[in-house]
Chains A and B, each alone.
Chain A
Amino acid sequence: MLNYVMRRALLALLVALTVSFGTFALFYFATDPAQTIAGEDAPQEMVEAIRVQYGFDRPITVQYLDWLGGVLQGDFGQSYFWKQPVVELIREHAKVTLLLAFSALAVTILIALPLGISAALRPNSWVDRFALSTAVSAQAIPNFWLGLMLIILFAVTFPIFPVSGDSSWRHYVLPALVLGASSVPAVMRLTRTGLLDVMGSDYIRTARAKGFTGYRLIVRQALRNALLPIVSVLAVQLGNKLGGSIVTESVFSMNGLGRLAVESIFNSDIPTVQSLILLFVLTFVLLTLAADLINAWLDPRIRMG
């Protein structure tokens, strides 16, 4: 197990380093930060002065290592647009996104797992058909439309929840539903096919021949095997929610990282964009690592292989 953990962690670290260099290089080659800071029409001397002042004239490797050193100490640089440290910006917005992402994940799990499991236990029954049609419609409905519909229904017609904002838990209910619903089809389908596979396997037949049946058969024999693919897909879905809830945040006017990303792109705020991209990528790297480790804990073949 220790061997496996070390191998995965080392791999994750390498990926993180590669990606950090990639994002850095992208901005180094694609933009002229001195020009951006100085403004479109600034005289050339001023641009050059800024270039020297900010150290943009140094070789890329030096700048990268300088930046990386800062990042490791929690210094992501200064936002050009908001004129404050990027770390503070991220800290302010991350709370909203974290809360939204995890409550959305809870919504996904609470809908997708029970639906997928009951569909798998009775294939081709009405439960199964209901689950599959739910999945198809959820896949087809765009996020923003579902968001608007929920606002009209539960915030305007029946004002149970606030229309927009992020100041109380009530503000999170509708966006979490919208964001959570978007992952339901993928997770539900995988739960269904995964569990169907497991239930049709030889070792479940063995367990039945030993006297396992009903609830005990599922919980004590099938569940652990069926969880393996679900853990992986949930990690990816959570990554999407942490990084990509731009539409939902916009519809509900929530001040999360998605909004921050959109605004800093519009305002060419390179340090912020750069930091956010790095943050999103690292989130994925960490989540994948976490999923791998959970699966290794669940499945001896992985941790001992």
Chain B
Amino acid sequence: MSTESLLEIRDLSVTLPTDSSALRAVRGVSLDLRRGETLGIVGESGSGKSMTALALMNLLPPAARRQAAAIRFGDDDLAAMGEKDLAGRVRGRRIGMIFQEPMTSLNPVYTIGRQLIETMTIHGGTSVAAARRRAIELLEKVGLPDPASRLKQYPHEMSGGQRQRVMIAMALMNEPELLIADEPTTALDVTIQAQILHLLSELQRELGMAMILITHDLGVVSRAADRIAVMYAGDIVETGTTEAVLSAPRHPYTQGLLECVPGYREASARRLGSIPGIVPSMTGEIRGCAFAARCPRAVPRCHQEDPPRRPVAAGQSDGAARSFVCHDPEETRGRGFAGGDTATGPAIRRGGDSVLRVDDASCTFSVRRGLFGKRKPLRALDRVSLDIRKGEVLALVGESGCGKTTLTRTIMGLQTPDAGTVTLAGRPLGEQPARQRARLIQPIFQDPYSSLNPRQTIGDLIRRPLVINRLGDAREQRARVHRMMDYVGLPSRVFNSFPDQLSGGQRQRAAIARALILDPEIVICDEPTSALDVSVQAQILNLLLDLRDELDLTYLFVTHDLSVVRHLADRVAVMYLGEIVECGPGEQVLNRPKHPYTRALLDSALSIEPSLGVPAPDLAGDFPNPMNRPSGCPFHPRCPLADQRCRQRVPATETLDGTLVKCWKADTPPPSGPLDVRPDHNNKEDAAP
């Protein structure tokens, strides 16, 4: 890493006009970046991190206003540059950018080739043929096989991971000095996330680029960034080397964020820390520290005076400035966010009788392509057996497309399996009337923004199941709703509010209340926290565990986040292409995985470990298209251990140390060190349908 400065931002502000007053999305941010360095900007949604990045190249929404004392980039001042110069000389040429949504960030009506080539030709000086050669070279580099024929493909012919690789290639076409990656892996599965991050860090080293990595994921930033800037309410509240900030955070907000991450503190039995309240809206005059209202260390001074920026003695040879913005009051030192020690979680072992059994359930959809095309079977579930025991948290893990959703739909009785049975409370699910079923099993969905009817008040929403099941008169029902709202921590004043007047966390609380009002046996939590910020996620996870103890609930917890699984699961089931490939007690599966796929998932999960870096992916390629199931063991094309037998014969399920595992190689000890990186065998058929 050179010490030459590449980017100096001084006093950058972005304001967005709203109906009443201006929203100050970015408030006086100053940043420095050296050549070849990676700066991670972390913060929750609304902290202004994306706005800061967009403001650099003035890509803000038209209504936004940008102000800056200086944005020095090399020898230029981007703050003083006009649109024409920025577009012609900087954007895409000296600064490349990757966005969060690979599914929508490529133009759907043009080929990949055209979109790559024009990135070079629009800046002039390059022939189409030369740009084409460069495009092929880069596609090869980002790990897409057969790049020349890729150029003729359209974005919709590719999966999310493949599109994100194209985005990366596109950003690198002109060998930019700076790459801005805005949540580049958030929309992707963990295994793909690890591949993409690894690829980015390798390319960066190779090309000597500086990088700004924007993310809400502290695990990602801990592995990939040299330095970190923590943003809160439009300002950088703490900055320093990744190692220093994460191992000894000084700002209460940074401390709080870390406490919220499941698995950051050793003891998984403890409740997660949580930051009370929500990010304030930065409108009008702001006095004092923006974090004061949520800060456990706040003293009156914090609410009145702007906090000073305090340098921390660096001591490092690279001279990276370490500072934080806080009054750091003496009198409240030592107070934190620790969530208390109401010991819950996997420390108490549960698991009594089975309340729900799935026996050999299979589900096949038939999909027809084209007018004269044959109908092809899509096996969403393949002889899945599972039981859920009273009082436990069973985590269901797997990449998107693996059949998690079909399985939960089958369990809720929304999908009838072609073969096999689901038994609920001793009776086959199919024989039970829908209302009875609904009283025993209730779902909580991923997105509290779309799973609540926007035209019903919160009170009505929660009460609805009681009305449908004709339980009690209106007065009793209302009383029950209020009691339930109290349980889930919703203030009673929101009874008459509509969902869009609530924050994301409050909406998810309402969804939980609605699920619990019928007093169900089993609650199916389908990624209940993945749409939420980490501080809110911690609150919701704590709440779910508390409710389990108080109301004696059983959870089927569907998630892709292994740190969450580790935090709360009693048992874990891992799904791959419609099959459960491993299922057993949490500590067994997570600490001594038997199936190579489970191992790969665990390796891909990025916990907060600044010293580790991004691991080389040991899982090649994308999740296969379920329409083209591989023969034999469905995992063999991506498996580092696969041999002839795996390619030909489907493995049987066997029991090893109390864990059910479906693999020919389950008793083979895992190879030490990183596994070979296998070439990506994807072809067109593997792309997203």
Known interface pairs A211-B123, A212-B87, A213-B84; A203-B108 also in contact (CB < 8 Å): yes
B59 touches A208 (CB 8 A): yes
A6 touches B99 (CB 8 A): no
B371 touches A300 (CB 8 A): no
A203 touches B87 (CB 8 A): no
Q: Which residues of B contact A224 (CB under 8 A)?
A: 109-110
Q: Which residues of B contact A221 (CB under 8 A)?
A: 107
Q: Is residue A103 within 8 Å, beta carbon to beta carbon, of the partner chain? A: no
* Majority secondary structure, A binding face: helix
A202 touches B105 (CB 8 A): yes
CA A299 to CA B156, docked complex, whole Å:
11
Residue of B nearest to A210 (CB): B92
- Considering only residues 55-107 of chain B, those with a C-beta below 8 Å from chain A are 57, 59, 62, 83-84, 87-88, 90-93, 96-97, 99, 101, 104-107
Q: Which residues of B contact A123 (CB under 8 A)?
A: 62
CA A225 to CA B57, docked complex, whole Å:
25
* Majority secondary structure, B binding face: loop
CB distance from B230 to the nearest CB of A (A): 25
Known interface pairs A205-B59, A205-B99; A300-B156 also in contact (CB < 8 Å): yes
CA A225 to CA B157, docked complex, whole Å:
17
Q: Is residue A220 within 8 Å, beta carbon to beta carbon, of the partner chain? A: yes
B109 touches A206 (CB 8 A): no
Contact of B105 among A7, A205, A212, A213 (CB under 8 A): A205
Q: Is residue B154 within 8 Å, beta carbon to beta carbon, of the partner chain? A: yes
Q: Which residues of A contact B123 (CB under 8 A)?
A: 211
Q: Is residue B119 within 8 Å, beta carbon to beta carbon, of the partner chain? A: yes
Q: Is residue A141 within 8 Å, beta carbon to beta carbon, of the partner chain? A: no
Residue of A nearest to B370 (CB): A3
- Considering only residues 199-240 of chain A, those with a C-beta below 8 Å from chain B are 201-203, 205-214, 216, 220-221, 224-225
B119 touches A210 (CB 8 A): yes
CA A227 to CA B62, docked complex, whole Å:
23
Q: Is residue B118 within 8 Å, beta carbon to beta carbon, of the partner chain? A: yes
CA A207 to CA B118, docked complex, whole Å:
10
Q: Which residues of B contact A10 (CB under 8 A)?
A: 371
CB distance from B474 to the nearest CB of A (A): 43
B371 touches A6 (CB 8 A): yes
A206 touches B108 (CB 8 A): no
Q: Which residues of B contact A300 (CB under 8 A)?
A: 108-109, 111, 154, 156
B118 touches A220 (CB 8 A): yes
Q: Is residue B434 within 8 Å, beta carbon to beta carbon, of the partner chain? A: no
Q: Is residue B130 within 8 Å, beta carbon to beta carbon, of the partner chain? A: no
Q: Which residues of A contact B371 (CB under 8 A)?
A: 3, 6-7, 10
Q: Which residues of B contact A203 (CB under 8 A)?
A: 104-108
Q: Which residues of B contact A83 (CB under 8 A)?
A: none
Q: Which residues of B contact A202 (CB under 8 A)?
A: 99, 101, 104-105
Contact of A299 among B87, B90, B108, B119 (CB under 8 A): B108
CA A10 to CA B106, docked complex, whole Å:
33
A304 touches B83 (CB 8 A): no
Q: Which residues of A contact B83 (CB under 8 A)?
A: 213-214
Q: A211-B91, A211-B122 are in contact. List 15 more A-B contacts (CB 8 A).
A: A3-B371, A201-B104, A203-B108, A206-B107, A208-B87, A209-B91, A210-B92, A210-B118, A211-B87, A213-B84, A216-B122, A220-B118, A224-B109, A225-B109, A298-B109
Q: Would you mind naming 21 contact pairs between A and B with Cβ atoms under 8 Å apart?
A: A3-B370, A10-B371, A123-B62, A202-B104, A205-B105, A207-B107, A208-B91, A209-B97, A210-B91, A211-B88, A211-B93, A213-B87, A220-B118, A221-B107, A298-B109, A299-B109, A300-B108, A300-B109, A300-B156, A304-B154, A304-B157
